């Protein structure tokens, strides 16, 4: 192997510069850093996780007497990052609209986000308890928090969902994708998930943007809550934000490998068996298995 000649390397550099320039002209980009940073947002989520659970996800040297100081200091740094990153997203969105006027004040959004954190902690506590009570292999709630990928994904989702609701969908999506890369669990930040959610094992779980999950829902690995089709406008362009994912009512259990598609409703207490392909609503208390779906031609089943 020999080094690339400097003239050849300069040719590559020039070609890459030309490609960047074409892209920026086509998409109305400037020359500076205009988008939020994945690296800074990853640090922000780590800090927020520590602030939410300081004695378990905070620094190993933290002592109880320093807990409040750590939480305050860490939240201050995380919110400063959020303000900076929110300013980038809002500025980018304004340029895409063509008016250059941000839709909101980053500092105000960061302050509103901070006010959601006590409720986020309450929801996560309910998720930890659900996992501990739902998994006979769990020896303690601390094991759930430290070890379970489903809980790790829910920490990021509960944070990302608040950011999404505040009008920061790009930052929220980055947060969600960081968790996806770490855990293999893909939850769109727009999805609404009630208290006491338990995602067991979790790898391969996909939950779409407009999915609505009630309380005490249990989901196993490789479950998809997806869209059956994508509505389009008169020009054939996909309509954004339309309800297209399932509604899962309270206390539903969805076993491994099930695929549930479209804006259908899984009634309270329904049980969806492994590897079921479901595109129709099912009544409360239903038990749906592969054999049932084949014998009923895919029709919704009555409570079992």
Choice among 86-95, 129-138, 265-274 with the minimum mean pLDDT: 86-95
Assigned token pair, 39: 């690296």
Q: How confident is the model at residue 43 (pLDDT cuts 50, 70, 90)?
A: very high
The pair phi, psi for residue 196, each rounded to 5°, is 70, 35
Instruction: With a cut of 90, say whether residue 85 has pLDDT above it.
Output: yes
Assigned token pair, 48: 């927020």
**Helix intervals (H) in the chain:** 6-26, 38-52, 54-57, 67-97, 106-134, 141-147, 149-165, 169-183, 290-295
The pLDDT, as a whole number, for residue 4 is 59
The pLDDT, as a whole number, for residue 299 is 47
Helix or strand holding residue 187 (H, E): strand 186-187
Choice among 56-60, 225-229, 244-248, 289-293 with the minimum mean pLDDT: 289-293
The pLDDT, as a whole number, for residue 6 is 79
The pLDDT, as a whole number, for residue 301 is 53
Reported as a single tens digit per residue, the pLDDT across 103-148 is 999 999 999 999 999 999 999 999 999 999 999 999 999 999 999 9
HSE-CB at 298 with a 13 A cutoff on CA atoms is 7
Assigned token pair, 17: 């510069």
Q: CA dist 221 to 84, 149, 167, Å?
A: 36, 11, 30
List, as one string, the DSSP characters of 225-274.
EE-S---B-TTSPBPSS---S-EE-TT-EE-TT-EEESS-EE-TT-EE-T
The pLDDT, as a whole number, for residue 27 is 77
SS3 292: helix
Reported as a single tens digit per residue, the pLDDT across 170-207 is 999 999 999 999 999 999 999 999 999 999 999 999 99
Please tell me the distance from the alpha carbon of residue 286 to that of residue 214, in angstroms, as a whole number: 16
Q: How confident is the model at residue 304 (pLDDT cuts 50, 70, 90)?
A: very low
Assigned token pair, 144: 């759930």
Contact 68, 51 (CB under 8 A): no
**Domains in the chain, ordered, with CATH?**
31-184 (1.10.3130.10), 204-304 (2.160.10.10)
Contact 293, 276 (CB under 8 A): yes
| pTM summary value | 0.89
> Of 201, 144, 149, which Cα lies nearest the Cα of 179?
149
* Average pLDDT for 275-300: 83
The pLDDT, as a whole number, for residue 250 is 98
Instruction: With a cut of 90, say whether residue 57 has pLDDT above it.
Output: yes
Please tell me the distance from the alpha carbon of residue 199 to that of residue 304, in angstroms, as a whole number: 24
Assigned token pair, 40: 């800074």
Distance separating the N- and C-terminal Cα atoms of the chain: 68
Please tell me the distance from the alpha carbon of residue 171 to that of residue 245, in angstroms, as a whole number: 22
Residue reference for tokens 């969805």: 254
Helix or strand holding residue 278 (H, E): strand 277-278
Q: Tell me, what DSSP letter sits at residue 182?
A: H
SS3 261: strand
Reported as a single tens digit per residue, the pLDDT across 210-250 is 999 999 999 999 999 999 987 777 777 777 879 999 999 99
* Average pLDDT for 48-57: 98
The pLDDT, as a whole number, for residue 84 is 97
Please tell me the distance from the alpha carbon of residue 76 to that of residue 70, in angstroms, as a whole number: 10
> Of 71, 79, 72, which Cα lies nearest the Cα of 163?
79
Contact 227, 209 (CB under 8 A): no
Instruction: With a cut of 90, say whether residue 302 has pLDDT above it.
Output: no
Q: How confident is the model at residue 65 (pLDDT cuts 50, 70, 90)?
A: very high
């Amino acid at each position: 192997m020999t080094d690339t000649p400097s003239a050849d390397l300069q040719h590559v550099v020039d070609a890459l510069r030309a490609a960047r320039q074409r892209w920026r002209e086509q998409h109305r980009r400037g020359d500076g850093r205009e988008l939020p940073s994945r690296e800074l947002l990853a640090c922000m989520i780590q800090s927020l996780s520590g602030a939410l659970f300081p004695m378990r996800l905070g620094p190993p040297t933290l002592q109880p007497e320093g807990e409040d100081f750590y939480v305050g200091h860490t939240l201050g740094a995380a919110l400063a990052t959020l303000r900076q990153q929110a300013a980038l997203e809002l500025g980018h969105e304004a340029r895409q609209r063509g008016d250059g006027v941000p839709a909101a004040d980053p500092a105000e959004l960061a302050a509103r986000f901070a006010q959601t954190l006590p409720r986020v902690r309450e929801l996560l506590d309910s998720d930890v308890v659900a996992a501990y009570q739902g998994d006979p292999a769990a020896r303690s709630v601390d094991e759930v928090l430290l070890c379970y990928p489903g809980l790790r994904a829910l920490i990021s989702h509960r944070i990302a969902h608040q950011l999404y609701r505040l009008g920061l969908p790009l930052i929220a999506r980055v947060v969600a994708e960081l968790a996806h890369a770490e855990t293999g669990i893909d939850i769109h930040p727009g999805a609404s998930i009630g208290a006491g959610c338990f995602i067991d094992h979790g790898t391969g779980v996909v939950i779409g943007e407009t999915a609505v999950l009630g309380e005490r829902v249990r989901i196993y690995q490789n479950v998809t809550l997806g869209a059956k089709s994508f509505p389009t406008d008169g020009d054939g362009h996909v309509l954004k934000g339309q309800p297209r994912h399932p509604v899962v009512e309270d206390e539903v259990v969805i076993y491994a490998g099930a695929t549930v598609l479209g804006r259908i409703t899984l009634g309270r207490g329904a049980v969806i068996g492994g590897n079921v392909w479901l595109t129709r609503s099912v009544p409360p208390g239903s038990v749906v298995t592969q054999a049932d779906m084949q014998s009923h031609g895919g029709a919704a089943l009555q409570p079992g």
